[in-house]
Amino acid sequence: MQKYTIEVDEGIWHHLQRHAEPFVDTPNSVLNRLLFGEQAPPKEPPAAFAIPTVSIQGLPKSLAQILEVVYEMEVNGYSRTQATSRVAKKRGTALGTVTDKYCRQLGKRAHEIDGLLAEPGYAGFRDLLASKYADHRGIIDMYFDSMMSDSDDADYLALEKNNSL
């Protein structure tokens, strides 16, 4: 489909921003929805890549949300901000509420969290979580080990698919 460039004034731009879903919508998709009531068909991830809700009795909600964000990054390949947005939307909460779980409550700034999440195997991040949630060390280790295994399986399946082409 051919694309065209248009200019809009600041008021229209702000209107589009108010109706956009961050990290999902483009100006075109917002206009489509506002003008024609059309939405792109929802892009449903395969069941293996759905966002799992961490729901373990006695597990703090903050830890559950942190683990869900990391899962989105590791298994589904989202950036930290995209993963945070997805978890917030799934849980029906504000983006800042989820961000608060892995920044303020862990005593780190976003760039520090990014550094820890960039480490292979998340060793530093796992240690940080274990020091904050010492009573849940076993669950943290089990979750990361399982997630890394899921990620390896997904990488293997993607590699197999590419090799069969």
Does residue 91 have a pLDDT over 90?
no
The pLDDT assigned to 59 comes to 86
Mean pLDDT over the full length of the chain? 79
Mean pLDDT for the stretch of residues 58-69: 90
The pLDDT assigned to 57 comes to 72
Length of the chain equals 165
Domain positions in the chain: 1-43, 47-164
Using one digit for the tens of pLDDT, what is the confidence trace for 106-139?
999 999 999 999 998 899 999 999 999 999 998 8
Does residue 155 have a pLDDT over 70?
no
Mean pLDDT for the stretch of residues 83-98: 91
d(C-alpha 82, C-alpha 112), whole Å: 17
Does residue 48 have a pLDDT over 60?
no
pLDDT > 70 in the chain, percent: 77
Does residue 159 have a pLDDT over 70?
no
Q: DSSP letters along 33-67, please? A: HHHH---PPP-PPPGGGS------TT--HHHHHHH
The pLDDT assigned to 156 comes to 42
Does residue 22 have a pLDDT over 80?
no
The answer to whether 136 and 64 are in contact (CB under 8 A) is: no
